[in-house]
């Protein structure tokens, strides 16, 4: 039996556990590079990470070469401070100069254009009304260079609207994805993330909470097209043979639904 700590989780531990559970920025960057080059014939250099949090992806991006630069935008200074302390500080002095953390709104004009904008970890689900979503996508479109690409991830499956808790075991902790509420008439959902640390068997409840609208891939592609993107592509993850994903994503427009899936959508300007 695990015990509830009754204490607020330490900031550094919170983001360490989050990144160890849900982020794989190496895979994300590889996907971006492959499909940007496939579409435009060149490699992107400037990236903007919306809802950037700790900016781990932005730091990894900038370390690719002396020509790579990244911006991480978020409203919350707490994860950004963690990222500057634990990610940007690990880069060389020159690489650090090519990563900029911006405490601000993704809907604002930040005065620069990028080759790529990403909004990962389903963060754009915060926009519950279609007009809000399209407005955000239009802001992204305007913030991109003429040969620009916008990448998001998205999840779904038969379980995504069920009120249940999924557990995933990691080496030093357990990750809990908790669907607390789902409104089938509006697709509004309330999710929580809990963690249990293995060394002391302490469970931290509701470390992160998300009050979202769950969008479908078709709704996202249509909103991107309305925002002005000329080409929008949906992708699907291959099967590892044991009912899980194999980490390889291919362009597709028709697939069989399953209990749970996570994949990418790419929009090109």
In tens, the pLDDT along 33-62 reads: 999 999 999 999 999 999 999 999 999 999
51 and 69 share one domain: yes
10 domain-assigned: no
5 domain-assigned: no
89 and 193 share one domain: no
135 domain-assigned: yes
pLDDT of residue 238: 81
CA distance 150 to 144: 8
Check pLDDT > 70 for residue 5: no
Three-state secondary-structure class, residue 203: strand
Q: Which domain holds residue 196?
A: 159-213
Sign of CA dihedral 212, 216, 220, 223: negative
179 and 244 share one domain: no
The more confidently predicted of residues 161 and 173 is 173
8 domain-assigned: no
For residue 232, give the DSSP letter.
E
238 and 111 share one domain: yes
pLDDT digits (tens, 9 = 90+) for 101-141: 999 999 999 999 999 999 999 999 999 999 999 999 999 99
30 domain-assigned: yes
State the virtual CA torsion across 46, 52, 56, 61 in degrees, nearest 10: -10
36 and 163 share one domain: no
183 and 164 share one domain: yes
Q: How would residue 1 be classed by pLDDT, with cut points 50, 70 and 90?
A: very low
Average pLDDT, the chain: 93
Domain count along the chain = 2
111 and 180 share one domain: no
Check pLDDT > 90 for residue 152: yes
175 and 45 share one domain: no
Taking residues 64-92, what's their average pLDDT? 97
235 and 163 share one domain: no
110 and 166 share one domain: no
Check pLDDT > 90 for residue 247: no
88 and 196 share one domain: no
Q: How would residue 155 be classed by pLDDT, with cut points 50, 70 and 90?
A: very high
Q: Last residue of some domain: 172, 190, 213?
A: 213
Taking residues 17-30, what's their average pLDDT? 93
pTM of the model: 0.94
219 and 209 share one domain: no
CA distance 60 to 87: 9
Q: How would residue 14 be classed by pLDDT, with cut points 50, 70 and 90?
A: very high
Query: Which CATH number do you get for residue 135?
Result: 3.40.50.150
Q: Count of alpha carbons within 13 Å of 154, Cβ hemisphere only?
A: 22
CA distance 209 to 212: 10
């Amino acid at each position: 039996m695990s015990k509830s700590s009754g204490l607020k989780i330490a900031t550094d531990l919170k983001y360490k556990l989050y990144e160890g559970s849900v982020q794989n920025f190496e895979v994300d960057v590889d996907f971006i590079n492959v499909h940007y080059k496939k579409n435009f014939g060149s490699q992107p250099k400037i990236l903007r990470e919306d809802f950037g949090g700790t900016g781990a992806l932005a730091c990894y991006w900038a370390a690719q070469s002396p020509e790579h630069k990244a911006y991480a935008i978020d409203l919350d200074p707490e994860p950004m401070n963690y990222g500057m302390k634990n990610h940007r500080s690990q880069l060389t002095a020159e690489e650090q100069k090519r990563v900029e953390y911006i405490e601000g709104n993704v809907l604002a004009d930040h005065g620069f254009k990028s080759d790529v904008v990403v909004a990962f970890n389903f963060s754009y689900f915060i926009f519950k009304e279609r007009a809000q979503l399209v407005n955000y996508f239009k802001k992204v479109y305007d913030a991109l260079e003429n040969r620009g690409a916008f990448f998001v991830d998205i999840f779904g499956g038969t379980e995504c609207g069920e009120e249940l808790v999924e557990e995933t075991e990691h080496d030093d902790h357990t990750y809990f994805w908790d669907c607390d509420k789902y409104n089938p008439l509006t697709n509004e959902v309330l999710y929580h993330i809990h963690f249990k640390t293995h060394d002391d068997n302490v469970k931290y409840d509701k470390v992160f909470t998300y009050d979202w609208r769950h969008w479908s891939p078709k709704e996202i592609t249509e909103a991107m097209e309305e925002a002005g993107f000329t080409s929008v592509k949906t992708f699907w993850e291959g099967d590892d043979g044991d009912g899980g994903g194999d980490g390889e994503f291919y362009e597709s427009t028709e697939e069989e639904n399953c209990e749970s899936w996570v994949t990418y959508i790419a929009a090109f300007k």
